[in-house]
Structure 1
Amino acid sequence: MQTSRSFPLNAWYAAAWDHEVGRSLLARTVCGAPVVLYRRTDGRVTALADACWHRLVPLSMGRLVGDGIQCGYHGIRYDSDGRATHMPAQETLNPSACVRSYPVVERHRYVWLWPGDPAGADPALVPDMHWNDDPEWAGDGKTIHTECDYRLVLDNLMDLTHETFLHGSSIGNAELNEVPFEVTHTDTTVTVTRWMHGIQAPPFWAAQLAERFPDHTGPVDRWQIIRFEAPSTICIDVGVAKAGTGAPEGDRSQGVNGYVLNTITPETDGTSHYFWAFARNYKLLDQRITTRLREGVSGVFFEDETMLNAQQRAIEANPGYDFYNLNIDAGGMWVRRLLERMVDAEAGV
């Protein structure tokens, strides 16, 4: 018997961008659990259950007192470990008065939270998104609050043939549906690799190539290497290079390379926090390019968001409907298999 929960808990999930967490209280729901995040006076991040031990009032409605929180309803104070340190009108503290404290790690510009068994919260398991703060790369991103199951976002990212139809004016081209692709997997990763040789660059990539090679007008070799890391991070190696200059063999010097960085955090069974960024390895100090790319990718992802939210409404209107799968769904099917195994293992199935 399978559990009804669709997401594993023993994993790191992005709870916020690092710049979102400061000396104020930030409320966020991660894997169905309301949490409150803030920075202590030493700069480290604390994440506590967002519910007072006394009457379950959200602690995020209170205020910081030093490195702890004071509940905004009756004034009970908690330290950064979640233990009550003060109660109104009494000196004796109830020994059970505490709220859950969650393991957190700051890495790759995100604050990561572990909602499962804290004994397993090994920082080495944080997904690799180093391009987000690597000095050899430059970029920026945003957060989308999707009104859909997080697995629909993963499906969307593992099969990029939809670009031809949904993003035809920017990154789509017909060759996405005409060339073969390769799918490989391990116990925790799935990789989909696609190369398109000697094609015309779609508008988005033609504009990027022109930044480095203004006189180039000929065909390009285009690549998409999609790598999923369980449970919900997908980093996509993308780019174009002048056709025949060696990009498929590893020489990308005659092209432009980017990484689409995506990590999706389930909020509830039907909503999610989608953190994304686009990083590049050329003209690193040109803020004009960084801003233009961020806004351009944001427009593309808005098209995805609209489609995914509509898909979620359709799923809700057709309970019990089983998806049909095509060859292009191979990567996404493997992702779902890995997720099911993780969830079932936690449930002891």
Structure 2
Amino acid sequence: MVEQIATTHRAPQTWPKEAWYVAASAGELADRPLGRTICGQPMVFFRGAEGQAIALEDFCPHRGAPLSLGFVRDGELVCGYHGLVMGCTGRATSMPGQRVDRFAGVRRFAVIERYGFLWVWPGDFETADPARLHHLEWAESPEWAYGGGYYHIHCDYRLMIDNLMDLTHETYVHSSSIGQKEIDEAPVETLIDGEQVVTRRFMDGIEAPPFWKMALRGAGLPDDQPVDRWQICRFTLPSHVLIEVGVALAGKGGYDAEDRWKASSIVVDFITPETETSHHYFWGMARRFAVADTALTDTIRTGQGTIFGEDLEMLERQQANLLRYPERKLMKLNIDAGGVRSRLMIDRAIAAERRPEVEAAA
């Protein structure tokens, strides 16, 4: 007789589950399994016999050990505790000295490998819809270059969304790289564009800050002339923020200038909840200038990593303060509109997912 050990843990739902999240960069998944908690659910990722990415619940049905501490053999996952072998469907296939046909299985999660990332669907496997994965033109076009990285950050993922949808903080948190007083002075506009929340700001005839002077040089443009600068933040469910940023030599058309007069990029922010107070942050920059210059890609990646590292400290300290003073009410100003509307979109998505459960219980 096989004794089953019940588990009843369920994290509070503060994120949509019926959606695609970045779980890892494709290069992170090689010969060994990768353990990562996504939306409160411990998962283990590994590659099957044909190299396909598989995601299972990170729980061995024998004694509850994390399967991520095991190893991959012939495209199956071997538990590192007692050798139970799990197949790609989440069912046990063998175990030394045991019959496994009556063993309980574990959850399997839908995975798509695309654009250099592994995307996972934390909701039901059967409801996973590949058509709901956002198309990323920059990730497939030779006219773009991309470089990025990863941070594990100890704060609510929504604080990062707030941060990215209000770039006013750049003047203060990033004063030595991308911040400048004109960000404070330029009017900001927030609107809903279809299924996106958009916050945008345009600054004309200004001096480029240090990061953008470097980008201008990389694009073969002078760095000592006035520029027109733009920031267009776009939030889409479940938690992605893509930011069109750039500078063009002043008087050449700004955002609409021809490529030969500007350095334009998309700041890529894939924010994946881990727990209520932590998340996985996959960041990068896709650019449309000097795309063959790999040294420039490395320089931008290093600079961007430093910039986001400055955000990390601020956000983690902010989270600690919010936990320390849960009774305090926060202010909502006009500059917060992008984050506020993004949170409303998240809340509506969660409510829509829970509606069938509420109706069934009524």
Same fold, TM-score > 0.5, yes or no: yes
Give how far 1:114 is off: 0.3
Q: Which amino acid aligns with 1:148?
A: C
How do residues 238-253 of structure 1 correspond to structure 2 at under 5 angstroms? Answer: 238-253=245-260
Q: Residues 90 and 207 (structure 1 numbering): CA distance in 2 closer, same or farther, change over 3 Å? A: closer
1:24 positional shift: 1.1
Query: How far did residue 343 of structure 1 move?
Result: 1.3
TM (norm. structure 1) is: 0.95
Contact kept in structure 2, 1:127 and 1:233, CA below 8 Å: no
5 Å matches for 1:203-218? Answer: 203-215=210-222, 217-218=224-225
Q: What's 1:150 paired with?
A: 157
Please give the alpha-carbon distance, in whole angstroms, between the structure 2 residues aligned to 1:21 and 1:317. 37
The corresponding residue for 1:279 is 286
Aligned to 2:109, what secondary structure does the other structure show? coil
The answer to whether the 8 A contact 1:10-1:117 is kept is yes
Amino acid at match of 2:163: N
What is the match of residue 269 of structure 2? Answer: 262
Whether 2:35 is the aligned partner of 1:27: answer: yes
Q: Report the identity percentage.
A: 43
Larger displacement relative to structure 2 (250-259 or 168-177)? 250-259
Q: Distance in 2 between matches of 1:182 and 1:191?
A: 8
Preserved contact between residue 161 and residue 239 of structure 2 (Cα < 8 Å) = yes
Residue aligning to 1:307: 314
Between the aligned partners of 1:29 and 1:133, the Cα distance in structure 2 is 28
Post-superposition Cα deviations, 1:17-76, rounded to whole Å, max 9, x if no partner, equal 000012211111101111111112312101111101121111112222212112222222
Counterpart Cα distance in 1 of 2:220 and 2:195: 39
Residue 182 (structure 2) pairs with residue 170 (structure 1): no
Q: 2:231 aligns with which of 224, 228, 232?
A: 224
Compute the displacement of 1:216 (Å). 5.1
Cα pair 1:35 1:49 within 8 Å, conserved: yes
Paired residues for 1:171-190 under 5 Å: 171-186=178-193, 188-190=195-197
Q: Write the mapping of 1:1-349 to structure 2, written as runs, cut at 5 A.
A: 4-91=12-99, 93-94=101-102, 97-186=104-193, 188-215=195-222, 217-348=224-355
Q: What is the rounded CA distance, in whole Å, between the counterparts of 1:8 and 1:320 in structure 2?
A: 26
SS at match of 2:320: helix
Cα offset for 1:344? 1.7
Gaps in structure 1 of 5+ consecutive residues: none
CA pair 275-215 structure 1, distance change in 2 beyond 3 A? closer
| Per-residue CA distance 1:301-321 (angstroms, 9 max, x = gap) | 010000000000000101133
Of residues 173-182 and 263-272 in structure 1, the stretch that sits farther from structure 2 once superposed is 173-182
Distance 1:186 1:285, change over 3 A: closer
Residues 248 and 88 of structure 1: CA distance in aligned 2, closer, same or farther (over 3 Å): closer
Q: Give distance in 2, aligned partners of 1:127 and 1:153.
A: 20
Deviation for aligned residue 1:120: 2.4
Distance 1:92 1:295, change over 3 A: closer
Q: How does the TM-score come out when normalised to structure 2?
A: 0.91
Contact 1:108/1:130 (<8 A) preserved = no
Counterpart CA distance in 1 for 2:221 and 2:142 is: 25
Q: Residues 90 and 153 of structure 1: is their aligned pair in 2 closer, same or farther, counting only changes over 3 Å? A: same
Instruction: Give ranges in structure 2 of 5+ residues lacking alignment.
Output: 1-10
> Measured at CA, do residues 345 and 65 of structure 1 come closer, stay the same or move farther in structure 2, by a change above 3 Å?
same
| Letter aligned with residue 317 of structure 2 | A
**2:233–2:244 contact (8 Å) kept in structure 1:** yes
Q: Which moved more, 1:49-58 or 1:152-161?
A: 49-58
Preserved CA contact (<8 Å) 2:214 2:223: no
Of 40-49 and 291-300, deviating more is 40-49
CA RMSD of aligned residues (A): 1.7
Deviation at 1:223, TM superposition (A): 0.7
Superposition deviation, residue 215 in structure 1? 4.0
1:250-270 residue CA offsets vs partner (Å, 9 max, x unmatched):
534311111110001111100
More deviation in 40-49 or 306-315? 40-49
8 A contact 1:84–1:93 mirrored in 2:
yes
Work out whether residues 208 and 223 of structure 2, in 8 Å CA contact, stay in contact via their aligned partners in 1.
Answer: no
| Count of residues paired in the alignment | 346
Q: Deviations over 1:130-188 (max 9, x none)?
A: 42443211121110000100000000000001001111111011111111122221563
1:127: how far off? 2.8
The amino acid that maps onto 2:49 is: T
Contact 2:108 2:125 in 1 (8 A): no
3-state DSSP of counterpart to 2:15: coil
Give the whole-Å Cα distance in 2 for the aligned partners of 1:201 and 1:101. 49
DSSP 3-state at the match of 1:14: strand
Q: Which amino acid aligns with 1:99?
A: V
CA distance in 2, matches of 1:228, 1:47: 27
**How far does residue 209 in structure 1 lie from its aligned partner after superposition?**
1.1
- The verdict on how the C-alpha distance between 1:6 and 1:320 changes in structure 2, with shifts beyond 3 A counting, is farther
1:103 counterpart SS class: strand
